Structure 1
């Protein structure tokens, strides 16, 4: 399942992560996260997958209805 810009913003909010923190955890430039969240550019599939994986490792569960929640 692909992660959307809105899901990215929401997941960061639930985790209280800045865009910079997400970028560091994924190993991408801050601009990559900013552009993705603002729908200016879609990162490569491997980067989107890494973003989702970072969120899942931090306790985010992605739901079938395009929603998300903290596990537990």
Structure 2
């Protein structure tokens, strides 16, 4: 599975116009945990199930995570965004 970075999470939230609280609600991860994770850089730290829940919530919102392709990893919205 593609590893997702904190920078991708922040970009994904911006595309969806979600606050940290929105992400916490959608993922089932506490707001303090979201804030702590987003204060870091690099891959999502902490437990693997936390990263999985965050990624799943953002993908359910319509985000596609893009792997490193020479220009760096990124995010975009699905055409058929829910």
TM-score by length of 2: 0.80
**What CA RMSD, in Å, does the superposition of the two structures yield over aligned residues?**
1.6
**Which deviates more, 8-17 or 61-70?**
61-70
Structure 1: gaps of 5 or more residues: none
CA contact (8 A) 1:26 1:54 kept: yes
Q: How does 1:49-64 map to 2 (within 5 A)?
A: 49-64=52-67
CA distance in 2 between counterparts of 1:43 and 1:23 reads 15
Write 1 or 2 for the structure with the bigger share of helix: 1
Shift of 1:43: 2.5
The alignment covers a number of residue pairs equal to 72
1:23-65 per-residue CA deviation (whole Å, 9 max, x = no partner) reads: 0111121111111111188221101011111111111011122
CA contact (8 A) 2:29 2:54 kept: no
Runs of 4 or more off by more than 6 Å in structure 1?
Answer: none
Structure 2: gaps of 5 or more residues: none
